[in-house]
Every structure is written in C-alpha cells, then in structure tokens.
Amino acid sequence: MEQVMELRQLENRARLLVKCPDKPGIVSVVSSFLFKHNANIVESSQYSSDPENGTFFIRIEFHCDGLSNKSSQLENEFEEIAREYTMDYYFHYLHKRQRSAIFCSKELHCLLELLWEWQNGDLDTDIALVISNHENARPIVESYGIPFYYLPANKEIRKEVEQKQIQLMEEYNVDLLILARYMQILTPQFVDHFENRIINIHHSFLPAFIGANPYERAHIRGVKLIGATSHYVTNDLDEGPIIEQDVERVDHRDDVVTLKKIGRQIERRVLSKAVKWHLENRIIVEGNKTIVFH
C-alpha cells in the first residue's frame, strides 16, 4: 500500500534545472509558470555567480497532479521562457529511474558500498550492470541479480574493450557510469561519449597526488591527513570537476598498507555521496567546477 502511494507520488514529481545569464525576474517568471500549471514547489535552491552579469542557476523540485499527462505541454510552454532568458534547462521526471553501470577492478570496497546503499533504497537508480577487468566481483554482483561482465583490459586491447563497453552501456540504456576504483585509463573517445556522466573516485585529496600511487606518495611526503576525491571524468587525468572530497587524520606510524585501509573508508563514503547527489540532480557542472545544491 505504502509502495503504491509512493509510486503515485513519484509520477507527479519532477525536477527542473536551469542555467542562464543572471538578470532580474528569473525566479518570478519560473515560479509563476509553475504556479500557473498547479505545480507546488517542494524544494528550491539557487545560486548566482554574480548578480550583475553573472550566471544564474536554479534547481526546483515540484509536485504536480497528473504530471505524466501534462509534461509535454509543460515543456513546450517552458520553451518560450527558456528562449527569452537564454536558458539551458532540463526536466527530470522522478518516475523515470536513472540507470547506472558500475566499472570496477580488483578492490571491491566502493562497489560493495554502492550495492549496500542501493539495497537499502538509498540510491535512486537501477544498477543495470557491472563490468570488471577481474572476476572476483562476480559472485556478489550476481547474488543481487545484477548482470556481471568480465572484460579483460590492458593498453593493447583498450580500443576493442571500450567498443564492447560502449555497446553494453547502450544495450542496457545506461545514464550514469560509476568508476568504483576502476584502475584503467579511458580514451578521449570513450569519455566524450558520456560527458558529465562518468563519476570517478580518486584516492587522494586532489589536486594533491594526481595520477598513480597516491597513498605511496602521501606516505613519502609525510602528510598528516589523507583524502579522496569524487569528480566527473574529463580527458585531463584527475582534473575533472570535483564533486566531493573528504579526509581522515593519519600519523607517522601509519604505513602505506594502513593508509590504504583508512583511505578505503574515505573513498567509499565520498563516492557514494557524489553518486547520490548526481542521481538527485543536485549537481550542475559549470566550466571545470560543480555547483552542488545540498
């Protein structure tokens, strides 16, 4: 019964994300538009990079009875406003669950965290498939009824593997790709295919320790905090828009093995937060930075 109620609610819920040059009247025109269509604003957050000549961003979650029948009319009429205010905008309907793919390698802590959150109902996505260049995740993934694909990976066969990966992602209608400690580099062609839709977890507090072996380098440098960074993947290694970061305290007694253990705890919570925010449409990418509406 509760589930039925919830489904009906989801059918009448949507999120509107807007980005446009800032000028007076935007909130007024958007909120009046929604009011006119009997949509009730449930949550709203906004940000202007500069009230004078800056860029304006707004995220509105609204409820609207009979939304599924009205959505195309809504979008059509909104198009006029969008044109007038030179808006980039996007309607996301909550009943259309986003579909995610997870790529992983040998270390499974981030994958396990995502599966755990998902099983608890805390990740609003369908995990469509898991792809790994190792076999060790298969039993746990398949125990959840999620398709698992083993695709060996190395420099020589990168192109063919990526072709196969893209094909699978299309076949499974994937909206979001999560790199849960996937230890392979992606080619520009692959990345361009999924712009702002690939979330990676890097095991350092970026921009410190870009690239390989960050814990080893953190140990050599003698830092007193280690961190992890979740970001959208671009073609500059570890340089994409940062979504979330966190750190933990370490000290001189912690060797590299211990740093990695502590780091795993940071990585899994940082990645799962970033994924959750993406799925809730809380993130707008602007240049090489993110606006995250908490």
Which residues of the chain form contacts with a copy of itself (CB under 8 A)? 23-25, 27-28, 31-32, 34-35, 38-48, 51, 63, 109, 112, 116, 120, 122, 143, 205-209, 221-225, 227, 241-247, 251-253, 261, 265, 269, 288-292, 294
> Cis before residue 207, ω within 30 degrees of 0?
yes
What residues contact residue 279 under an 8 Å CB cut-off, 6+ apart? 98, 100, 123, 124, 125, 176
Least spacing, CB of residue 16 vs a copy of itself, in Å:
13
Calculate ∠ Cα 68-73-77, nearest 5°: 140
Q: Which is nearer to a copy of itself, 78 or 209 (CB)?
A: 209
Is the CB of residue 176 less than 8 Å from the CB of residue 279? Answer: yes
Q: Is 238 a catalytic residue?
A: yes
C-alpha 165/C-alpha 94 separation (Å) is 27
Pick 158 or 265: Cβ nearer a copy of itself: 265
**Least distance (Å) from a copy of itself to the CB of residue 217?**
8
From 238, 246, 251, 254, active-site residue = 238
CB of 155 to a copy of itself, least distance (A): 28
Q: Which residues contact 238 (CB under 8 A, 6 or more apart)?
A: 202, 206, 207, 210, 211, 229, 231
CA atoms within 13 Å, Cβ hemisphere of 242: 16
* CB nearer to a copy of itself: pick between 141 and 169: 141
Place of tokens 């990976």: 153
CB of 178 to a copy of itself, least distance (A): 18
Whichever of 139 and 156 has its CB closer to a copy of itself, that residue is 139
Q: Which residues are catalytic?
A: 238
